[in-house]
Structure 1
Amino acid sequence: MVLVVSPPLLTGNAWKYRERTYRHAFWDSGTVLANLLGTAHAFDLPASVVAGFDDRAVADLLGVAPETEAPLELVPVGEGSPVGDSSESDSPPDALDPATEPHPEHDREHDLPREAWATSELSGGVAATAWRERVREAAPVGKTPAGDGERVPLDPVGYETEVARPLRSAAERRRSCRAFADEPLSRRKLGTVLDRATRGVPGDWNGGTAPGLQFNDVYVLATDVEGVPDGRYQFHPEEAALERLGDATSADQTRLALGQEWAGDAHVNVYCMTDVGAVVENAGDRGYRLAQLEAGVTLGRLYLATYAHRPLGGTGLTFFDDEVTDFLSPRAAEQTPMTLYAMGVAE
Structure 2
Amino acid sequence: MPEIHESIAQHYHERTKYNPETLASKNQKLDWAKQPVPFKEYKIGSTLDLKPYLQEIPEAFANKPDAQWWQRLSRLLFRSYGLTARMPSMGSTVYLRAAPSAGGLYPAEVYIVSRGTPSLPPGLYNYQCRTHSLMHYWESDVWQALQEACFWHPSLESTQLAIIVTGVFYRSAWRYEDRAYRRIFLDTGHLLGNIELAAAITDYRPHLISGFIDEAVNDLLYIDPQQEGAIAVLPLADLLDIKQNLPIGCTALPSATETSYPQIPDGELLKYFHRHTQIQPGITGKLNLPMVKQEKSLEDKYNFPFCLKIPTSTTPIFWGENLLDLEITMHKRRSTRAYSGDDLTFDELKALLDFTYQPKNYIDQSLDSSPDYCDLNLIETFIAVCGVKGLETGCYYYAPKAQELRQIRFKNFRRQLHFLCLGQDLGRDAGAVLFHTADLKSAISQYGDRVYRYLHLDAGHLGQRLNLAAISLNLGVSGIGGFFDDQVNEVLGIPADEAVLYITTLGRPR
- 1:194: which partner in 2? 353
Pick which of 263-272 and 235-244 moved more: 235-244
Three-state SS of the structure 2 residue aligned to 1:78 is strand
1:114-143 deviations in whole A, cap 9, x for unaligned? 122111111248639936539977976xx8
Quote the Cα distance in structure 1 between the aligned partners of 2:441 and 2:172: 26
Quote the Cα distance in structure 2 between the aligned partners of 1:181 and 1:77: 41
Quote the Cα distance in structure 1 between the aligned partners of 2:373 and 2:285: 20
2:468 is equivalent to residue 304 of structure 1? yes
Gaps of 5+ in 1: 83-107, 201-206
- 1:134 and 1:172, CA in 2 relative to 1: closer, same or farther beyond 3 A? closer
Q: C-alpha displacement at 1:218, in angstroms?
A: 0.4
Counterpart among 325, 332, 335 of residue 495 in structure 2? 332
Alignment of 1:110-125 (within 5 A): 110-124=267-281
2:167 is equivalent to residue 7 of structure 1? yes
Gaps of 5+ in 2: 1-160, 245-264, 360-369
Quote the Cα distance in structure 1 between the aligned partners of 2:466 and 2:375: 15
Quote the Cα distance in structure 1 between the aligned partners of 2:489 and 2:301: 13
1:278-324 deviations in whole A, cap 9, x for unaligned? 111121111121111111111111111111112x0111112111111
2:486 is equivalent to residue 322 of structure 1? yes
Cα pair 2:381 2:435 within 8 Å, conserved: yes
- 2:394: which partner in 1? 231
Quote the Cα distance in structure 1 between the aligned partners of 2:288 and 2:228: 23
2:190 is equivalent to residue 31 of structure 1? yes
2:199 is equivalent to residue 40 of structure 1? yes
- 2:284: which partner in 1? 127
2:453 is equivalent to residue 289 of structure 1? yes
- 2:476: which partner in 1? 313
Q: C-alpha displacement at 1:154, in angstroms?
A: 3.0
Q: Give, as a single letter, the amino acid of the residue that structure 2 aligns with 1:123.
A: Q
Three-state SS of the structure 2 residue aligned to 1:156 is coil
Quote the Cα distance in structure 2 between the aligned partners of 1:234 and 1:313: 22
Between structure 1 and structure 2, the one with the greater Rg is 2
Quote the Cα distance in structure 2 between the aligned partners of 1:60 and 1:275: 33
- 1:136 and 1:171, CA in 2 relative to 1: closer, same or farther beyond 3 A? closer
Counterpart among 148, 151, 163 of residue 309 in structure 2? 151
- 1:138 and 1:268, CA in 2 relative to 1: closer, same or farther beyond 3 A? same
2:408 is equivalent to residue 245 of structure 1? yes
Alignment of 1:12-91 (within 5 A): 12-79=171-238
Quote the Cα distance in structure 2 between the aligned partners of 1:35 and 1:119: 28
Q: Give, as a single letter, the amino acid of the residue that structure 2 aligns with 1:307.
A: I
- 1:93: which partner in 2? none
Three-state SS of the structure 2 residue aligned to 1:175 is coil
Cα pair 2:210 2:374 within 8 Å, conserved: no
Cα pair 2:387 2:430 within 8 Å, conserved: no
Q: Give, as a single letter, the amino acid of the residue that structure 2 aligns with 1:170.
A: T
Cα pair 2:374 2:457 within 8 Å, conserved: no
- 1:129 and 1:179, CA in 2 relative to 1: closer, same or farther beyond 3 A? farther
Cα pair 1:28 1:296 within 8 Å, conserved: yes
Cα pair 1:193 1:302 within 8 Å, conserved: yes
Cα pair 1:52 1:129 within 8 Å, conserved: no
Three-state SS of the structure 2 residue aligned to 1:51 is coil
Q: Give, as a single letter, the amino acid of the residue that structure 2 aligns with 1:186.
A: T
Pick which of 30-39 and 178-187 moved more: 178-187
Q: Which has the higher strand share?
A: 2
Q: Give, as a single letter, the amino acid of the residue that structure 1 aligns with 2:218.
A: A
Cα pair 1:135 1:283 within 8 Å, conserved: no
Q: Indicate the structure whose relative CO is greater, using CA pairs within 8 Å and at least 6 residues apart.
A: 1
Q: C-alpha displacement at 1:43, in angstroms?
A: 2.9
Quote the Cα distance in structure 1 between the aligned partners of 2:477 and 2:356: 13
Quote the Cα distance in structure 1 between the aligned partners of 2:459 and 2:497: 17
Alignment of 1:94-105 (within 5 A): none
Quote the Cα distance in structure 2 between the aligned partners of 1:135 and 1:268: 36
Q: C-alpha displacement at 1:197, in angstroms?
A: 1.5
Cα pair 2:316 2:354 within 8 Å, conserved: no
Quote the Cα distance in structure 2 between the aligned partners of 1:128 and 1:258: 46
- 1:176: which partner in 2? 335
- 1:109 and 1:252, CA in 2 relative to 1: closer, same or farther beyond 3 A? closer
- 1:291 and 1:211, CA in 2 relative to 1: closer, same or farther beyond 3 A? closer
- 1:277: which partner in 2? 441
- 2:248: which partner in 1? none
Cα pair 2:381 2:436 within 8 Å, conserved: yes
1:60-105 deviations in whole A, cap 9, x for unaligned? 12221222111111111124768xxxxxxxxxxxxxxxxxxxxxxx
Three-state SS of the structure 2 residue aligned to 1:46 is strand
Quote the Cα distance in structure 1 between the aligned partners of 2:337 and 2:487: 23
TM (norm. structure 1) is: 0.81
Q: Give, as a single letter, the amino acid of the residue that structure 2 aligns with 1:313.
A: G
Cα pair 2:205 2:237 within 8 Å, conserved: yes
Quote the Cα distance in structure 2 between the aligned partners of 1:279 and 1:304: 28
Cα pair 1:4 1:74 within 8 Å, conserved: yes
1:221-253 deviations in whole A, cap 9, x for unaligned? 111101011111111112322111112321121
TM (norm. structure 2) is: 0.56
1:159-204 deviations in whole A, cap 9, x for unaligned? 6xx463522211122111012123210111111112211358xxxx
Q: Cα RMSD (Å) of the superposition?
A: 2.9
